[in-house]
Structure 1
Amino acid sequence: MTGKLGRIIRFGLVGVVNTGVYYGLYLLLGLAFPYLAAHVAAFLLAMVGSYFLNCYFTFRTTPSLRTFLLFPLSNVTNFVVTTAGLYALVTWLHVDQRIAPLLAAVVAIPFTFIVAQFVLLGRPGQAAPLVKEEERTS
């Protein structure tokens, strides 16, 4: 899985793992906290794991403090859409609060990929890759 298609597939796999981690944390934290508080905490915790998986597995770049601090930008759209979607689904459409986050998350995925790629790789030649560019695209 090399090149842009491989990167997109790896991003999808990380997304599945990240969604599983988020959802497990959301359900667990939902036992002790209101659903929106559980959502925020689970989202933040899962985002840390997502950063490292995306660095090492998806984009094959070296983690740094700079990209770690910028990585949440890749999740701002995701967070806004999923939070608003979660609220709308639970409050207005009466969707079960255990299912609603999964439905709300689907819409934001493409935006998250684009911003994560820019944050972690920057412009060509800017990132500190683990794999040389010619190995990525071959």
Structure 2
Amino acid sequence: MRPSSFNNEFSRFIIIGLLNTLNYYVIYTAFLWSGLPYMLSHLGGFVLAFIISYFLNCHFVYRVRPAWSSFLKFPLTQVVNMGMQTLLLFVFVGIFSWNEIIAPLPVLIVTVPVTYTITRWVLKDEEV
């Protein structure tokens, strides 16, 4: 892979990640306004945004065809992401006593490239 293709793909990954966050919030808010309790709104928003995320990542980030095999593996990307974020946040705040407001920023700096690599492996079925 050429460095420029990595940069373009990674940039698209960041943009789609931001769009996915917006998707979740819009869906969550719509469910909330429709009268659903906040937890059901959250779960519904998460699931729908996650499905949208899969297709956006396939089509716009990695430019691959969606497939059941990659769709079923796609949740692994978020399990790893959430696990790493939780562990690093605990280490930075709970052990190193970093500020709770600042600590998520370096966590993202570490986890976003890792999540990108795992998602690329899942969707493109390539060695990383």
Judge same fold: TM > 0.5, yes or no: yes
State the shift of 1:64 in Å.
0.9
Compared CA separation, residues 63 and 40, structure 1 to 2 (3 A): same
* 1:10 corresponds to: 12
Q: Secondary structure at the match of 1:123?
A: coil
State the identity as a percent: 35
Question: For 2:21 and 2:112, how far apart are their aligned partners in 1?
Answer: 11
Q: Which amino acid aligns with 2:55?
A: F
Question: For 1:9 and 1:109, how far apart are their aligned partners in 2?
Answer: 11
Q: Which amino acid aligns with 1:123?
A: E
TM-score (norm 1): 0.62
Of residues 47, 52, 55, the one that matches 1:52 is 55
Question: For 1:64 and 1:44, how far apart are their aligned partners in 2?
Answer: 18
Consecutive unaligned residues in structure 1, runs of 5 or more:
86-102, 125-138
State the shift of 1:77 in Å.
3.9
Q: Aligned pair count? A: 103
* 2:28 corresponds to: 26
Residue 74 of structure 2 contacts residue 119 of structure 2 at CA under 8 Å; is this kept in 1? yes
TM-score (norm 2): 0.66
Q: Cα RMSD (Å) of the superposition?
A: 2.7
- Larger RCO (CA under 8 A, 6+ residues apart): 1
Q: Which amino acid aligns with 1:67?
A: S
Question: For 1:79 and 1:41, how far apart are their aligned partners in 2?
Answer: 18
Of residues 39, 42, 46, the one that matches 1:43 is 46
